[in-house]
Chain A
Amino acid sequence: MALFSTLRKRAADSASYHGLHEPDLALHVEDLTVAYEGKPVLWDIDLNVPPGVMAAIIGPNGAGKSTLLKAVLGLARPTAGHVCIHGRSPRAQRRRIGYVPQRSSVDWDFPTTVLDVVMMGRYGHLGWLRWPGARERERARRALETVQMEHLAGRQISQLSGGQQQRVFLARALIQEADVYFLDEPMAGVDATTERVIVGLLKELRDAGKTVIVVHHDLQTVRDYFDWLAILNVRVVAQGRVADVYTGEHLKRAYGGRIALLEREAFEGPRGPDAPQENDA
């Protein structure tokens, strides 16, 4: 059985290249281009994220942030280029990847409970015919404790607030027990408590040696939350340590004309009432 799965992994890997490719990087993206209906959404992306960092991907609306995440996870088909997670194709590394999609991507009126949704994080690890059992339930309970929602385990998901929905998704990703976590705008439209819980947790993951990659929309908090940054606008504008990359020059190149407003807010004042909000991408 073990031999069989090893062979299968090898086959998957050698489809694009042989053996390990850039094994020292948590995420390695090379020459990635994604186009919808002939229009490039991502153009010739080269992106490297070392292991053990908490990285943000920022960029204006339509910069392709979510598409990049989807292409990395194999949810969007690239026109060109390839992706490696810890030196192998994402398909071969599926069990080392944790994913938190945007909250709005599912119907929250689905008849299920909080605990049930969290357990879905183990479905990829269970055998094809195995039903989730006591062990999965126990893990899910612990994950809910971590996001401070254990008291809502039996609650129907339609009764959750936006912040609680987000924490449920985070708990679901936690029990994937991955090495690299991808989160799509986890802080969009959540309450302050939830944001604090999420950021605290992500930093804990990073301190435990995991890699956390977040599509982020709030420029104000980039320097507080993250240590690695990629600025995106169809192409990669800049990437590297936050201290080196988070500059007015780079932001201006990514955000263009809106920089006057951005600069003032990002470099001087506190968050104003008309701070830039991005909801899609």
Chain B
Amino acid sequence: MTGLVELLSDYTVQNVAMGAVLLGIASGVLGCFAVLRQQSLLGDTLAHAALPGVCIGFLIAGTRDMGWIMAGALGTSILAALFVLALTRRTRIKTDAGLGSALGLTFAAGVVLLTYIQGQSNASQGGLDTFLFGQAAATLRSDLWLMGGVTIAAVALVLGCWKQFKLVTFDPEFARAVGLPVALLETVLTAMIALAVVIGLQMVGVVLMTSMVIAPAVAARQWVKRLEHMVLLAVGVGIVSGLVGALISASVQNLATGPLVVLAATAIVAVSILLAPGRGVLWEQIRHWRDRRTIGQRQMLTTLYKLAAHHRDPDYPAETGMLDSFHGTRTQRALRQLQRRGLVEPVAHMPGEGRHWVLTEAGRREAERVLKTMTPEMA
């Protein structure tokens, strides 16, 4: 505990923590719309496309000036988005191929520019390559002001146009029918992914930034049933993973911040996918097993009932092997479960044959109840 307090009183760590919070807010809010509009991969392309912009910003400013670098990154990101749109609308190239080409093109250009700058032996180029994977410890107070400004602008935009963004994301056709400028709103939503990327440059870097956009939203989606709650929860997930990653990286020497932040976010996603009530994999599996068991038992009851009715013998003994072949599956387990519920019982029959089963009195009543609820097709 004292360790944490000591850590948080450190000036650099404070900067990192504030950066993480800002990044969490921005990526949580903007990521929800990206994920719901199925634009996660576009996020990856836009993030990689920020790298040439970082270099261009640096070249223009001549130093590692965050304002110019962010502006450059935003510029090339948005250009890449427009490029993908034009490519998929004007040619027969499909979206995935368009995204792939744009990602490769822009990232390659970025790396070439990066090596060009590094070759110039300019002392002020001070580790431009940290924008690949982020370097939280290098965050300055002035960087935070910029990040904060962009975050506030993005959040204000989302709050102001909340109902428009929501309707365009859910039902663009209806949105157009009631007169919303759908093309404009969609462009703004796409540009906002680029905004999130720019905010995450310093912390996470361009290579992994897309995870920061997607992961909090995906995790949040598992737990909620309203968009409002999804955005709030995604902000929470974003902040927590940002802080966890940044603090681990600050306390353990030389561990990269960006990848740690992404690992933290992904861990939360994994837990959410497994455990979230209703949508979680575990819950669905349990529900599936329970359904199968119930249906298997019901089928067995009705089979035994019909066999008894057919032979006009309420205590007609049915052999396990025969029931197996009748149901086309192993029935041993279902029979055992029914036996435990007191609905069937094994009876002694001819020696040398498999076990035989009959319905108990309770079993007969249950079978009649089941048959009554069945539709003609099922019976």
A156 x B167 contact (CB < 8 A):
no
Q: Which residues of B contact A99 (CB under 8 A)?
A: 174, 177-178
The smallest beta-carbon distance between B153 and chain A, in angstroms, is 15
Q: Which residues of A contact B311 (CB under 8 A)?
A: none
B173 x A75 contact (CB < 8 A):
yes
Known contacts A123-B163, A156-B225; decide if A74 and B171 are in contact (CB<8 Å).
Answer: no
Binary B-proximity of A70-110 (CB < 8 A = 1, otherwise 0): 00011100000000000000010010010101000111001
Q: Does residue B76 face the partner (Cβ distance < 8 Å to A)?
A: no
B169 x A123 contact (CB < 8 A):
no
A101–B162 Cα distance when bound, in Å, is 22
B177 x A74 contact (CB < 8 A):
yes
Q: Which residues of B contact A176 (CB under 8 A)?
A: 178
Known contacts A74-B176, A94-B179, A123-B180; decide if A106 and B170 are in contact (CB<8 Å).
Answer: yes
A261–B149 Cα distance when bound, in Å, is 68
B178 x A123 contact (CB < 8 A):
yes
The smallest beta-carbon distance between B298 and chain A, in angstroms, is 23
A113 x B176 contact (CB < 8 A):
no
The smallest beta-carbon distance between A186 and chain B, in angstroms, is 14
A101 x B173 contact (CB < 8 A):
yes
Binary A-proximity of B151-168 (CB < 8 A = 1, otherwise 0): 000000000111110110
Query: Which one of A106, A112, A123 lies within 8 Å of B226 (CB-CB)?
Result: A112
A75–B175 Cα distance when bound, in Å, is 10
The smallest beta-carbon distance between B251 and chain A, in angstroms, is 36
Query: Which one of A94, A97, A123 lies within 8 Å of B164 (CB-CB)?
Result: A123
Q: Which residues of A contact B36 (CB under 8 A)?
A: 110-111
A111 x B171 contact (CB < 8 A):
no
Q: Does residue B212 face the partner (Cβ distance < 8 Å to A)?
A: no
B176 x A131 contact (CB < 8 A):
no
Interface centre among A94, A97, A112 (most CB of B within 10 A): A112
A74–B173 Cα distance when bound, in Å, is 10
A128–B160 Cα distance when bound, in Å, is 8
Q: Does residue B230 face the partner (Cβ distance < 8 Å to A)?
A: yes
B180 x A111 contact (CB < 8 A):
no
A155–B339 Cα distance when bound, in Å, is 39
Q: Which residues of A contact B370 (CB under 8 A)?
A: none
Query: Which one of B170, B180, B230 lies within 8 Å of A124 (CB-CB)?
Result: B180
Q: Which residues of A contact B176 (CB under 8 A)?
A: 73-75
B174 x A101 contact (CB < 8 A):
yes
The smallest beta-carbon distance between B368 and chain A, in angstroms, is 28
Q: Does residue A120 face the partner (Cβ distance < 8 Å to B)?
A: yes
Number of interface residues of A (CB under 8 A): 28
Q: Does residue B48 face the partner (Cβ distance < 8 Å to A)?
A: no
Q: Does residue B224 face the partner (Cβ distance < 8 Å to A)?
A: yes
Binary B-proximity of A168-197 (CB < 8 A = 1, otherwise 0): 000010001000000000000000000000
Q: Does residue A126 face the partner (Cβ distance < 8 Å to B)?
A: yes
The smallest beta-carbon distance between B239 and chain A, in angstroms, is 20
Query: Which one of B160, B175, B227 lies within 8 Å of A112 (CB-CB)?
Result: B227
Of chain B, the residue at the smallest CB distance from A156 is B225
Known contacts A94-B179, A105-B173; decide if A120 and B167 are in contact (CB<8 Å).
Answer: yes
Q: Does residue A13 face the partner (Cβ distance < 8 Å to B)?
A: no
A124 x B169 contact (CB < 8 A):
no
A107–B35 Cα distance when bound, in Å, is 13
Q: Does residue A209 face the partner (Cβ distance < 8 Å to B)?
A: no
B162 x A131 contact (CB < 8 A):
yes
Known contacts A75-B173, A101-B171; decide if A124 and B178 are in contact (CB<8 Å).
Answer: yes
Q: Does residue B221 face the partner (Cβ distance < 8 Å to A)?
A: yes
B160 x A129 contact (CB < 8 A):
yes
Known contacts A110-B170, A123-B163; decide if A116 and B226 are in contact (CB<8 Å).
Answer: yes
Known contacts A111-B230, A123-B164; decide if A94 and B224 are in contact (CB<8 Å).
Answer: no
Interface centre among B173, B180, B230 (most CB of A within 10 A): B173
Of chain B, the residue at the smallest CB distance from A99 is B177
Query: Which one of B161, B170, B226 lies within 8 Å of A120 (CB-CB)?
Result: B170
Query: Which one of A97, A110, A111 lies within 8 Å of B177 (CB-CB)?
Result: A97
The smallest beta-carbon distance between A83 and chain B, in angstroms, is 13
Binary B-proximity of A128-172 (CB < 8 A = 1, otherwise 0): 110110000000000000000000000010000000000000001
Q: Which residues of B contact A129 (CB under 8 A)?
A: 160-161
A110 x B178 contact (CB < 8 A):
no
The smallest beta-carbon distance between A108 and chain B, in angstroms, is 10
A111–B221 Cα distance when bound, in Å, is 7
A116–B226 Cα distance when bound, in Å, is 9
Known contacts A111-B221, A111-B230; decide if A75 and B177 are in contact (CB<8 Å).
Answer: yes
Q: Which residues of A contact B178 (CB under 8 A)?
A: 94, 99, 123-124, 176
Known contacts A120-B167, A123-B164; decide if A111 and B227 are in contact (CB<8 Å).
Answer: yes
Q: Which residues of A contact B169 (CB under 8 A)?
A: 110
Q: Which residues of A contact B224 (CB under 8 A)?
A: 111
The smallest beta-carbon distance between A9 and chain B, in angstroms, is 12
Q: Which residues of A contact B180 (CB under 8 A)?
A: 123-124
The smallest beta-carbon distance between B37 and chain A, in angstroms, is 10
A209–B105 Cα distance when bound, in Å, is 60
8 pairs of A and B residues whose beta carbons are closest in the complex: A124-B178, A156-B225, A99-B177, A94-B179, A106-B171, A110-B170, A73-B177, A111-B230
A-B CB contact pairs (8 Å), 27 listed: A75-B176, A91-B179, A94-B178, A94-B179, A105-B171, A105-B173, A106-B170, A106-B171, A107-B170, A110-B36, A110-B169, A110-B227, A111-B230, A112-B166, A112-B227, A113-B225, A120-B163, A120-B166, A120-B167, A120-B171, A120-B174, A123-B163, A123-B167, A129-B160, A131-B162, A131-B163, A172-B174
Known: A111-B36, A123-B167, A132-B163. 6 other contacts (CB 8 A): A73-B176, A75-B176, A99-B177, A107-B170, A111-B224, A120-B174
